[in-house]
Amino acid sequence: MSMTMAASSSAPQSAGQRRGSTTWARPSGRRSCAATSARACAASARSSSCCRPRRSRRTCGCASGPRTSRKRRSSGPRASGATPRSNPFQRGLRRPRTTRSWASCPASSDACGWSNERAVAGEFEGARHDRNARESKRTVIMNNVNDIEETEGFIADQRDWLIEHKQTRALSWAQLHPLIGRPGSTLSLFAAGKYNGGPSASGNGEIAKHIFRFRQTLVRQTELKVEAPDIPTFFETKTASEIHHLLAWAQRGRMCYWVGGPGTGKTTAAKEYAQRASNVWHVEILRSTKTTMALCHQILEVMRDFTGPTGTARLSAYVMGKFRDTGGLLILDDAQNLDIDQIEEVRGWFDRTNVGVAFIGNPKVVSRMEGGSRAADFAQLYSRIGMRMIRALPLKDDIEALATAWQVQDEQVAATLHKIGSKPGGLRSCTYVMELAMMLARADNSELTVQHVHTAWTQLSSNPVVA
């Protein structure tokens, strides 16, 4: 454990007096560089900065901070060239020559002797049960794992953390696989100290580095959750109410479509309806969904059914059987990605099972179905459309609902949101702007102002909003 030097009396002393009578104390937490204190100012007599780096201890030399009862007193001046005992918790970490302060000192950001690697060493220091609390409070600089030596101490620390994290979060090895990037069986052997034949065998260091990267990511994402505002969940807008009405009509065994521009809230409203009504399957069509078989697989995945037969005809009949007598609704989002063969297959399901079908997409859906040489191809489909709605931009009431969800009180901020919402992107752009603007306001420790909104929009778009 690193040691710090404290003055033996509260009155300011000269550098010679301080070196003649010293008290060595074990710190109980993270050091605080209060350079304005009397004892910290006395340190400037022997150094131009408040913190002097040590040979093997990278602790701050300021004389402020918590003390514990465990002390070792020195009977005389410290011998020149004497090197304190090394910190056993910093084993395996090389000292980078170019890195500087991790928790910078208020007096001089380059003065503090804590290096990035030593700060990470503090990650492994102290009681295991208090580790997560310390990680959530620190501002961590993410370190390159290639600068860390694969020592037994480093590997053992990652193994202990992995076991504790798995137990605390009640995760399985299979669930940790995509998070850490190593197979669950490999992580299990590593935790048991049996990977490649032993806890120190080759390959353990690479796994430990993967775990260390995951730890750094968790800490950083936790900090962002603290900094970032909570984005409002679904809020009722006039457009959302109209979409819900259309979907409810479609679930009566009708075929409908809703066409809207980007940021009108069509996908959010469709997902919300699927959470409220039974037997509603919301399928987002990908551009890679080029065949009828691919469409069937996507529908079955939404149904959580992974036992479908092989072959396009048999698979389509299987999906049709899943629809029959359910009174359900199939929502095909991003329907502009469907081709004519897939749409005709959906029409066949609709005719034979009376399942409701709702197409949701951008204006390309209308142009494909109504215009050009394919108008005749979609004649049978179009004759079955029971309701259709088209909206290019959000309504004024939609933007007001968004401002209310964000608890916007400033009239200038609300007016700016209306200007942003009237541009392509609509409600989505307003959400991104408000998220960034709230973070800027928190950084300034002030209330949200129109200037924060303008700054956020400038960073997100090349088209500034006219005040």
Output phi, psi for 452, to 5 deg: -65, -40
Decide: residue 279, CB within 10 A, 0-12 exposed, 13-18 middle, 19+ buried: middle
* pLDDT tier for residue 143 given thresholds of 50, 70 and 90: confident
E-assigned strand segments in 362-447: 385-391
Domain boundaries, the chain: 1-126, 127-227, 238-391, 396-460
CA distances from 157 to 209, 211, 301, 399 (A): 11, 10, 40, 51
Q: What is the CATH number of domain 238-391?
A: 3.40.50.300
Decide: residue 57, CB within 10 A, 0-12 exposed, 13-18 middle, 19+ buried: buried
> pLDDT tens for residues 265-319?
999 999 999 999 999 999 999 999 989 999 999 999 999 998 889 999 999 999 9
Judged by DSSP in three states, 53 sits in: coil
Q: What is the pLDDT of residue 116?
A: 39
Output phi, psi for 165, to 5 deg: -65, -40
Given a cut of 60, is residue 119 above it in pLDDT? no
pTM of the model: 0.59
Q: How far is it, in rounded angstroms, from Cα 301 to Cα 322?
A: 12
Q: How far is it, in rounded angstroms, from Cα 55 to Cα 115?
A: 12
- Higher pLDDT residue, 5 or 365? 365
> pLDDT tens for residues 8-46?
334 444 444 444 443 444 444 444 444 444 444 444 444
CA distances from 459 to 205, 302, 403, 451 (A): 41, 37, 20, 12
- What is the percent of the chain with per-residue pLDDT over 90, rounded to a whole number? 49
> pLDDT tens for residues 319-345?
999 999 999 999 999 999 998 889 989
Decide the pairing of beta strands 385-391 and 255-260: parallel
Tokens of residue 255, six digits: 């075929």
Task: Give me the half-sphere count of Cα atoms (radius 13 Å) on the Cβ side of residue 15.
Answer: 8
Sheet holding 22-25, edge to edge: 4-7, 22-25, 71-73
Given a cut of 80, is residue 96 above it in pLDDT? no
Please list the residues that pair with 333 across neighbouring strands: 284, 360
Q: What is the pLDDT of residue 227?
A: 67
Q: How far is it, in rounded angstroms, from Cα 393 to Cα 196?
A: 60
CA distances from 6 to 22, 63, 177 (A): 6, 5, 47
Asked if 382 contacts 343 with a C-beta cutoff of 8 angstroms, the reply is no
Asked if 315 contacts 296 with a C-beta cutoff of 8 angstroms, the reply is yes
Choice among 93-107, 132-146, 317-331, 370-384 with the minimum mean pLDDT: 93-107
Task: Give me the half-sphere count of Cα atoms (radius 13 Å) on the Cβ side of residue 178.
Answer: 1
Asked if 252 contacts 279 with a C-beta cutoff of 8 angstroms, the reply is no
- Higher pLDDT residue, 121 or 257? 257
